[in-house]
Structure 1
Amino acid sequence: MTKKIKLKDTLNEFLFNQIKNDPDYQQWSLDFEMPAFITDNLSRTLRDYQIEAVKHFIYLFESGEMQKAKHILFNMATGTGKTLTMAAIVLYLYEWGYRNFVFLVHQVQIKQQALANFTDPNFDKYLFKKQIKFNGKTTPTKAIERFEDSKRSGINFMFFSTQMLYERINHPKENSISTEDFVKNDTIIIADEAHRLNVNTKKKTEVADENNWETAVQSVLHANPKNLLLEFTATVDLKNENIHKKYKDKLVYKYDFLAFNKDGYSKQVAFLYNNETQIADQKRLLIVNAVVLSEYRRLLAEREMGVAINPVVLIKSVKIAQSEEDRAFFHKVISSLRAEDLKHLERMAEEKKDLFDTQSLMIAQMFYWLKSAKANLATTQDTTGLGAFIAHIKERFSENNTMIYNSKTKEKAELLPLLDSPKNTIRAIFSVNALNEGWDVLSLYDIVHFDISESKKVSLQDIQLIGRGARLYPYQLPKSYHRDDLFSGDNAYGTDPFKRKFDQNPNDNGRMLETFYYHFVKTGTFLENLQKDLLGEGIISEGVEKRTIHLKPKFLESQTYQKGFVLVNRQEFRSKNTQSDIDLTFNRQIIASSYKLHTHTLTDKEQNTALSTLSYKTIKISAKYFSRHLLYKALILAENGFFRLNNLKKHIMGISSIDEMIDIYLPKYDIKYGHVQGKDIDDLSAHEKLQMLIGSILPEVRKAIDKYLPIVKGSSLFTPKPLSAIFQKQKNIYLVAYPTINEQGEKTFIAPDERAKAQSSHDKEELQYAVNTADWYAYSENYGTSEEKRFVKFIASQIDKLKQTYKNAEIYLIRNELDYYLFNIEDGRRFSPDYMMIINDVQNKQMYYQCLFEPKGGHLLQKDDWKEQALINLENLSQIKFDCNHFGEYQEIKCLGFEFFNSDTKKHSEFAQGFHDKLL
C-alpha cells in the first residue's frame, strides 16, 4: 500500500513556496510588469492569481537554470481559468522563439474544446485577440497534424488524445509524427488534466512497462534539451508518496478551490432535496424544483439586473440506458406542469427559520418577486404571476431545448461549447459521467441527481461536477441596481464582474444569480458525506455568521455626525495634462539594444561575457538616427495600435497629429543604446532600426504613457457630503467559515476567522482593547483583522496627545465597512480605506481634518502599494471645493492620507513618524 504523507510538514519545500519565499523573486516581482505582448494579445484580462502563476513561470524560466523549467506542474482548481494561463505562457514562449505546441487531452470533447479555444478566432471563448501581433506583424494560430505543416511566423498547435500520442510514438507510420520529430523541433507539451500522466508514478514501485503514455510523454520531453512539459491539473494527490516526490521540485504554482472561493470567484453552493417516498413523485419534485429555480433566475437576471443568461440544468441519470427514459419523463412533467406543482415550494418558503436558511429564504423571495411589478408577470386575473411563469417554463424547457450527452449518444454535441452564449436555447442536458471533466460551462446552475436509492454514495464524479457548476457566471450589476447613490453605505455591492456581488448583502434576491443548487433525494448519510467532501475541497463554506455594529449614541448626538461631512471625489476622463505629467512621461531614459540576450540559453558566465562586450551611447528618437518614414511605420506597427492618433488623443490632451508625437514628444527621451562591435546605430539597417523601435523602445514609451498619462483618473477636486448620509447607524457584517489546517495537520472549520472576534473581549492581550467604551471610537465594536486591531490600539495610545493638540475638538475614529470610496487621482482606481478619523474644531472652526488610514498585512503590502501612494498623495494633490452655507466656515480643511499601518517594526516606525509629522 502506498504510503500517505502529511502535507503540513513538507509544503514549504515545494517549488511554488520556494519561489514565493525567495528574496530574489520578491525583489524581482517589485519591478515586474506583465509584457504587453501578453496582455495585448489575450482576449480577456488575467486575474491576479493567473498573473501570479505566469510570474512564477517567467521567473523560473529566466533564472538561467533551464532544467528547473523543463517539466513543471500548475495545480489550479476547476474553473480558475487554466486555459487562459496556458495561453499567456504560449505567448511568452512564442516571444522566446518557440513555435510548436503539443496539446494533450484524454477525451474527445475536451480536444474539440481546446481546438476551438486556441485556434478558432470566431469562437466565443477564443483565448487570443482575433489578430495576434508581435512587433507589428500578425501572428496566426494554426492547428497542424505534422511538424512539416508548421508555420515559422505562426503559433502551431498539435492536439492529441493521450492514446493517440502513445500510438504515434510507439507505432510510427508514414507521414505521421515520430519521436525523431521531437528531436529536431523545439516543442512545448501542454498536458491538460495532467493527473492522468501519472500511470507509473502512482504505483509503489516503477514497473518496467513501456506500454503506457506517461513513458511516451517522457520520451518526447527528453528528445530535445529545449523541449518543455507544462502540466495543468485541478487534481494532484500530493499525499501519495510517489506523486509527492515527483512533483516537489515541479509544482510551480498552486491555487485550490478554497482560495478561489475565498477570493469571491465561485458561486455559493446550496442543496434542495426532498424526503418523499413514492419514486415517481420524488423524480417529479426534483424536476419541478430545478426548472422553477432556473427560469426564475433567468427572468430575474433579465428584468431586474439587465443580464442575458440562459441557465442550464444538468440531469444526471444513474445509467446510460436510462437517459432517454429520464428525458421522456422530464418532458411529461414539463407538459403537465401547473401552479399546484409549486405548492410544496410555497410551504417551504412559509416555514423559513432565519436569514441563513438558504432554501426557504430564496424561495420566499422568488414568490414575492414573481408577483411584483418588476417581474411583469402578474395580472388582475392572476395576481401571483404563476400562470405566466409556468408558460415561460414550458416554452423554455420544450423538447427542442434539451439534449442527451453521454458516451453512447452525443446529441447536439456541437452546442456544448456555446452554452454560455446569451443566444443559447439549450436549458436541460441529460448525462451520466461524460461531462464530469473538461466541460467548460459557467451557466450551469442546477444539477439534478436522479439516483434515489437508499444506498447511494458520494463519488469523486459528484464532487468534480459540483465544482464545475460552482464557477461563477460573470456579470455586471447595472449602476441603478437598488442604488440611489454611488456612496450610499447601505448598498455595498461588489463591482468586479468576475466576483460575487452580494457577500455583504446575503439577503438580497440578486444572490440567486450567484447560487448553484444541487437537487437530490435525501437518503442515508448522503447529504452529510457530500457536505463533508465539499467542505474539504473548499467548494462550500461552513456557513455564514452575522456580526452587527451600531454607531454609539454619543457619536449620533455629536456635531460631527449631525453637521459634519466627508470629502469625496469622482472618477473622470483625463481632460488636461500638467507639465509635471509630461515631464514624468517623456523626460526619461530608455535602455535599448539591437542585441537580445536570451538568458535561458546562456550560462551565467556566458551572460556576463556577452554583457561585458556591449558598448553604450546616448541617442535620441530624432531624424539624426531614425528616418521619418521609419518612425511612422514603427508607430503604426508597435503595441497593437496603441500609437494611433485616436488613442494618443485620449492620453495626450491637445495632440493633433502623429507629427507632433514625432517632433515634440519622442525626442524628449534619452535612449541608452547598447551594442556589440559592428552594430553601432549608424551600422544598423533600416529593418534593424525598425525592429529596435518596435521591440525595445516604443514598448517602454507605451508603459510610461499608461503610467503617467492614463485615460481615466480620479478627480483631484473633493466636495463635501453629509457624514450622516455615508455611515449607517447600524451595519451588518457577514462572515464565512472556511476549512483550515490546525497545528496537528488536521482539517478543521473555523467559523470564521479573526474578523469574527470582538476587540473589546478579545482573548489575546496584544489585540484586546475596550473600544465599546472608548468615547473616540464611533462604532459599538471592532470586528477587524489582527492588523486593524493593532491599528486601533495605536490610535488609543495617541488619543490623549491628539486631544491635547486639538483642544475642544471632536475626534472620532470610524470603521469604514465599504461605506466610503476614494478614487486614486493618478489612474481612477476605486478603493475603500479601512478607517476614517475626523478631527473637527466645532467651537472655533479653525480646522476640519479628514484622515484616511489603511492597516495592511505584510503579504498585501506589495500588491496594494498603489493604494498607499494614493493616500500619501492626497495632501498635495487634493483640492477642496466647499459651500460654507451648508457646512459652516472653517479656516482650514484638509483631506489627509497616511502610509499603510503594519506592525512590522520598520513599517510601524515609518507610519508612526508620518502620523506624528502630519497631526502632532
Structure 2
Amino acid sequence: MSKQKSKKQLSLPLFEELIRLNASMLDEEATWYTPDYITENMIHKFRYYQDAALRFFHYSQTGKEFRYRNINHVLFNMATGSGKTDLMAGLILYLFEEHGYQNFLFLVNTNGVLNKTIDNLTNKASGKYLYTEQIEVDGNRIDIQRVNSFPSNQSKNTIYLKLATVQSVVSDIYTHKENSMGEEDYAKNKVVILGDEAHHYSASTKSEKETEQSWEKAISTILNAREDNRLLEFTATIDLENKNIYEKYKDKVLYRYALDQFIEDKYSKYVKRIQSSNTDLDNMLNVILLSEYRRRYAFEQHKTYIKPVVMFKSQRIDASNEANEKFNDLIDELSVASLKEFINRQEQIITEEDSETLALAYLYYRENNENLAEIVHDIKREFASNRIINANDTSQSGILEKGYYEALNSLESPTNLYRVIFAVAKLTEGWDVLNLYDIVRLSDDPKVSGTKATTMSEAQLIGRGARYNPFLLKGERSFQRRFENGSVDSLILETIHYHTINEPQYLKNLVDSLDEMNLPTGKDTKNPLLDVKVKSAFKKTNVWKYGKVYYNETIEVSDDYYSSLDKYGVDNKSDIVIPYISSMQELGYRDGEIREDYSNAYNLTVEFDQRYLNKVMSRISFYHFNNLKKYIPLLKTREEFFDENWLNIYNRTVYVVVPRTMGSNALTPNEKLYILEKYFLKVAKQIKSGYSKRRGTGKFIGYPIKEYISNYRKRKPNYDTSKMVLDGAPQKVDRYVINEDYFVYDCAIINLTERQLIDRITERVAELKENYSDVYLIRMDENMHRESAKNHKLKLHQFGHGHDEIHLEGFQPDFILYLKNEDYCVQIFIEPKGRNIAEEQWKEDLLTYINENEAEITFEDETEDVKIKGVKFYTMNDERNAVKQIGEIALGKEFKSLSIQS
C-alpha cells in the first residue's frame, strides 16, 4: 500500500491550480457551466465529474491566468467506465462553438476502439451513438462528417472528424504517401487531436526504443504544426510513479476522477469472488445455472429482461478452444436427471465458506422441480453453440480485434443473442459491455502461476467488467446502483462475480492486487443471508394478538403549497450568521490544529456583489435552473430565486462569526465565496429535504403488530479489499442471539452501539416490570416488508410547526420500547446512532418534538389510551443520556442505577 501513498503525494501543478481557480474566480468565467448546446445535443446527461472536467478545460482556455501560457496539451485521467467518450463528444461541441475548431483527429492504438468510437461519434444507426439525431446550435444544424483528410475549403456549420489508428497516422507523417496527411496538412487549419488510451503514446518516455518513439514524435509534430493546435489525451491508466512519465505529464493532467470514487458514487456493479476447488466442468455448469437464474430472477421478480453475459478466461488459446468444446458437450448432454444429480452433489459439499449466490440458484431450481424440463430446454437454447463467441483468432491483439466486433460491441442489444465468450485476451480497452455478470478463470495451465503481474492484470479485468448495467426497472433506467447492498436484488442484478481457482498463493496475490487498485470486493460466502424470527413465545401473548405500533399519517401536498422558502423549512427573513471556523476549516482553509479564541467573538459583515451569487449558483449544480425547478415548481426564473418570497438575499445581511483576533478586513474574496457557498449548500439541503408529495400530520394510526412485525432475512456486510470501504466503514455488524423474553426476535443483526443499547435496557427490564405488565423491545429493521407496500407506512414523519429543518421524507427509528399496563400503553421510539449525527440531527429533533407537543397528537381510534414518546439518539456509552430519558418517561424518575458498562 506504500505505493498508493506515494501516488497521492505527487504534485500535479496544473490540476491543483485549476482546483484553486475553480474556487476563487470572480470574473465572467466564474458563472460558467455546461452549456445548453451540449446538454441538448447529447443522449447522455453529463455526470457531475464530467461537468467539472469540461469546466476545468474551459478555464484553461479562457482564464486570464492562462492568457499568455497557451495550454495546448492536457490529459484527462478518468476511471474506466466513467464516460470519457461522452466527455470527448461534449468537448468537440464546445471547441467548435466556443473556439471555432472544425477539424478533429481522433487517435487510438487499436482497431477495436477505433470502430467503437466511429459508432459513438458518427454512426447514427448505432445504439452507441452519443449525439441526438440532429445536432443544432444557435438555430443552425451542425453536420459531423467523417473524413480521411481535412478539406482545404471548409463548409460553415460542419465538424470534420478524422478517426484513425496512431499507427496509420504515424505512417502518413513519415512516409509521405499519396492522398495522406503530412505535417504541412495539419498546419493549414487548426486541429484538435483527441488521443484515447493515451498511456500507449508515452513508450518513448519510458524507454528509447526507436520503433515506439515515432508515435510520440508524430503526435508532437502534429501538435506543433500550428500554435493553436490542441492535444487532449484521455486515459484511465497513467503510471505517474514512472519518473519520466511524471515529468511529461505533471503540468498536463487537467482533471482526475479515480476508480474508488467512481465506485463510491454507485456507477459500478458490486464485485464478489466465488473461490472454488471444483473442476472446470463443474464451474462451467455452476456459472450456467447462475447466469440463467439471473435472467429468470429479473423477469419473475421485476418483470424486466436482462441478458447476463459470461466470459471464460483462459491462459492459452489451445486451452480456451478445448474448454469451448467441453462447454458445448456439457450443454448437449445436459438433462433433467444430470441437472438434479449435479445440484444434489453440490449441495452436499457446501460449507459456510461457499457461495451464497450459488446456493440461491440451487434453491431456485429445487423449488422449480416440476419445471426442470422447461428450464433445461431454455438452457440448451440460451447457451447453444450459435450463442457463443470464441474470440481466439490470435494471441496478440485485443478482444475487439478478433472478428466479432459488431457482436461484442452490441451485447446489451435485445437483438444480440450471444451469452458466452471464450477468450485468452482480457477485457480490453474499448470494450464497454455493461451486461457482463460472470467472469470465470479456468485452471487450464498449471505452469502459469498467480504472480503479482498476472493478478494485477486480472484485477484490471474485474474493474473493467464492473461497469453498471442500466437495465429497465419499473419503466426507468438508472446508471447508478438502485438496491441496498446485501439484498438479493443487489446480489443477483447488481453484482459481477469472479469465479476463480482456490489456490492460496494465487488468491493472496489477487486480493493484494484488488486492494492496491482500491477496488471493493469480497468473497461470496454462504453465511450472509440470516433468518431473524419472531419468538414463538411472543406470538402467544396478547401484545402479539391485539397490540399495535403507531406511526403518524401522511397527506398529499400540491405544488401550490410550496409558495415560499419558509414552506421548505428555510428561514428567509432573519439575517444569515455563519461560524467562521466551520465555514473555513471544513473546506481545508485552516489547519485542523488551530484553536481560535472565541470567548470574545463578534459578527463580521460579509460584503459581496452579484458576481459572488452567480458564482455560487453556477458552481452548485442544484441551483442550475432545470434542477431548481424540480424542487420549486412555482419558480419562473433563476433570478427570481433571489426575490423576497424565496431567498430574499438582498434584504438580509450575511455575518460570519469570527474571533476578536481577526480584523474587519481579514476576509479574502476566496473566503467570502466559501462562506456563501456553505450557506447555499445548507439551503439546497433544506429545500431537497423539505420538498415532498406527502407530509406528516399529528394523527397517529395503529398498525397491528401481528401483521407488521414478521420474520425477515438480512445479510452482514462482507468486503475484504479496498481501504475506501474498510477504513471508512461503520462499526462491525454481526448477528447476536438474544434470549431475553422481552426482546421479540430470536436474534438481531446489529452493530456494537445497538448491542450496547439492548444490554442497557436488559439491565432495567425488572424495574420497568414493576410498573408495566408488558415490556417488549421491538427491532424495527428496514428489511421487514422491504418488498411490501406496507413498508412505507411504518415511518415517522415531521408534523406541526417549529422545526429548524424540514424533512418530509420520514424515517423509521430502529427500536420501539413497548410498555403496557392496565391503564395505558407507552410507545417509545429509540434511534441508536454511531456516525452522521450532525447530518441526521433532524431525526433526534423530531423524536424530542413528539414529547414537547403532545397536544398536537391525535389517534385514529379516540378510545385508545396511548402515549407516543421519543428520546435523544443513543450513542456509544450513552453520552446523550437516552437511557435516563427512558426512565423519566416510563417511570417518572431516573432508573435506580445507571450502568457504567461500555
TM-score by length of 2: 0.63
Q: Which residue does the alignment assign to 2:376?
A: 390
2:708, 2:477 → 1: CA distance? 18
Which residue among 198, 202, 209 is the counterpart of 1:198? 202
1:525, 1:142 → 2: CA distance? 53
Residue segments in structure 2 that go unaligned for 5+ positions in a row:
395-400, 573-609, 611-623, 646-683, 762-774, 785-793, 800-804, 881-902
CA drift at 1:322: 6.3
CA drift at 1:312: 1.9
Whether the 8 Å CA contact 2:18–2:59 is kept in 1: the answer is no
1:166, 1:869 → 2: CA distance? 67
What residue identity is the alignment partner of 2:290? L
Alignment pair present for 1:292 and 2:285: no
2:19, 2:813 → 1: CA distance? 30
CA drift at 1:163: 0.8
Which residue among 488, 504, 517 is the counterpart of 2:486? 504
What residue identity is the alignment partner of 2:466? A
What residue identity is the alignment partner of 1:516? I
2:714, 2:271 → 1: CA distance? 19
The correspondence of residues 211-610 of structure 1 with structure 2, limited to 5 A, is 211-249=213-251, 250=253, 252-257=255-260, 260=263, 263=266, 265-271=268-274, 273-276=276-279, 282=280, 284-320=281-317, 326-342=323-339, 345-347=342-344, 349-351=346-348, 357-358=354-355, 361-372=356-367, 378=369, 383=370, 385-408=371-394, 410-433=402-425, 435-458=427-450, 459=454, 461-475=457-471, 498-499=480-481, 501-505=483-487, 508=488, 511-519=491-499, 525-537=505-517, 538=519, 540-541=521-522, 576=560, 579-580=563-564
Whether the 8 Å CA contact 2:521–2:721 is kept in 1: the answer is no
2:555, 2:98 → 1: CA distance? 39
CA drift at 1:427: 1.6
The correspondence of residues 857-868 of structure 1 with structure 2, limited to 5 A, is none
2:848, 2:13 → 1: CA distance? 34
1:368, 1:105 → 2: CA distance? 47
Q: Which residue does the alignment assign to 1:753?
A: 729
Alignment pair present for 1:885 and 2:861: yes
Q: Which residue does the alignment assign to 2:81?
A: 79
Q: Which residue does the alignment assign to 1:117?
A: 120
CA drift at 1:439: 1.1
Describe the shift of the 1:166–1:844 C-alpha distance in structure 2 as closer, same or farther (beyond 3 A): farther
| 3-state secondary structure, aligned to 1:302 | helix
1:870, 1:74 → 2: CA distance? 46
Q: Which residue does the alignment assign to 2:891?
A: none
Q: Which residue does the alignment assign to 1:43?
A: 43
Q: Which residue does the alignment assign to 1:693?
A: none
What residue identity is the alignment partner of 2:360? Q
What residue identity is the alignment partner of 1:499? R
Describe the shift of the 1:452–1:68 C-alpha distance in structure 2 as closer, same or farther (beyond 3 A): farther
Whether the 8 Å CA contact 1:105–1:161 is kept in 2: the answer is yes
Alignment pair present for 1:146 and 2:149: yes
| 3-state secondary structure, aligned to 1:96 | helix
CA drift at 1:369: 1.4
CA drift at 1:79: 2.8
2:822, 2:217 → 1: CA distance? 82
What residue identity is the alignment partner of 1:43? I
Describe the shift of the 1:513–1:275 C-alpha distance in structure 2 as closer, same or farther (beyond 3 A): same
Describe the shift of the 1:216–1:41 C-alpha distance in structure 2 as closer, same or farther (beyond 3 A): same
Which residue among 102, 107, 111 is the counterpart of 2:105? 102
| 3-state secondary structure, aligned to 1:44 | coil
Whether the 8 Å CA contact 1:60–1:69 is kept in 2: the answer is yes
2:121, 2:167 → 1: CA distance? 21
CA drift at 1:111: 0.9
Describe the shift of the 1:58–1:540 C-alpha distance in structure 2 as closer, same or farther (beyond 3 A): farther
1:872, 1:34 → 2: CA distance? 43
| 3-state secondary structure, aligned to 2:433 | coil
Q: Residues 209-236 of structure 1, C-alpha deviation per residue, up to 9 Å, x if partnerless?
A: 8842122223333444444433322222
| 3-state secondary structure, aligned to 2:380 | helix
Q: Which residue does the alignment assign to 1:487?
A: none
CA drift at 1:58: 5.0
Alignment pair present for 1:735 and 2:688: no
2:57, 2:843 → 1: CA distance? 27
Whether the 8 Å CA contact 2:552–2:696 is kept in 1: the answer is no
Q: Residues 432-486 of structure 1, C-alpha deviation per residue, up to 9 Å, x if partnerless?
A: 217533211112223344451212234354333333333332335559xxxxxxx
Residue segments in structure 1 that go unaligned for 5+ positions in a row:
277-281, 480-493, 589-613, 615-638, 654-659, 670-703, 742-746, 761-772, 797-809, 902-907, 909-920
Name which of structure 1's ranges 709-718 and 571-580 shifts more when overlaid on structure 2.
Answer: 709-718
Whether the 8 Å CA contact 1:103–1:160 is kept in 2: the answer is yes
Describe the shift of the 1:290–1:723 C-alpha distance in structure 2 as closer, same or farther (beyond 3 A): same
Describe the shift of the 1:62–1:721 C-alpha distance in structure 2 as closer, same or farther (beyond 3 A): farther
Q: Residues 330-362 of structure 1, C-alpha deviation per residue, up to 9 Å, x if partnerless?
A: 32332222245446742464246666632xx33
Describe the shift of the 1:263–1:401 C-alpha distance in structure 2 as closer, same or farther (beyond 3 A): closer
2:155, 2:844 → 1: CA distance? 48
Describe the shift of the 1:180–1:311 C-alpha distance in structure 2 as closer, same or farther (beyond 3 A): same
1:874, 1:49 → 2: CA distance? 42
Q: Residues 274-295 of structure 1, C-alpha deviation per residue, up to 9 Å, x if partnerless?
A: 454xxxxx4x434333323222
CA drift at 1:116: 1.0
Whether the 8 Å CA contact 2:714–2:749 is kept in 1: the answer is no
2:702, 2:182 → 1: CA distance? 72
What residue identity is the alignment partner of 2:41? N
Q: Which residue does the alignment assign to 1:656?
A: none
Name which of structure 1's ranges 344-353 and 409-418 shifts more when overlaid on structure 2.
Answer: 344-353
1:870, 1:180 → 2: CA distance? 72
Whether the 8 Å CA contact 1:94–1:155 is kept in 2: the answer is yes
Which residue among 159, 162, 165 is the counterpart of 2:163? 159
2:332, 2:285 → 1: CA distance? 11
Describe the shift of the 1:238–1:275 C-alpha distance in structure 2 as closer, same or farther (beyond 3 A): same
Whether the 8 Å CA contact 2:829–2:847 is kept in 1: the answer is no
Whether the 8 Å CA contact 1:755–1:783 is kept in 2: the answer is no
1:353, 1:347 → 2: CA distance? 10
Describe the shift of the 1:448–1:550 C-alpha distance in structure 2 as closer, same or farther (beyond 3 A): closer
Q: Residues 67-122 of structure 1, C-alpha deviation per residue, up to 9 Å, x if partnerless?
A: 59543333333333333343344444444235443322211121111111222233
State how many pairs are aligned. 758
2:633, 2:715 → 1: CA distance? 41
CA drift at 1:366: 1.7
TM-score by length of 1: 0.62
Describe the shift of the 1:130–1:573 C-alpha distance in structure 2 as closer, same or farther (beyond 3 A): farther
Identity of aligned pairs, percent?
Answer: 25
1:72, 1:870 → 2: CA distance? 51
Q: Which residue does the alignment assign to 1:171?
A: 175
Describe the shift of the 1:97–1:49 C-alpha distance in structure 2 as closer, same or farther (beyond 3 A): closer
| 3-state secondary structure, aligned to 1:200 | helix
| 3-state secondary structure, aligned to 2:522 | coil
2:778, 2:470 → 1: CA distance? 36
2:336, 2:464 → 1: CA distance? 32
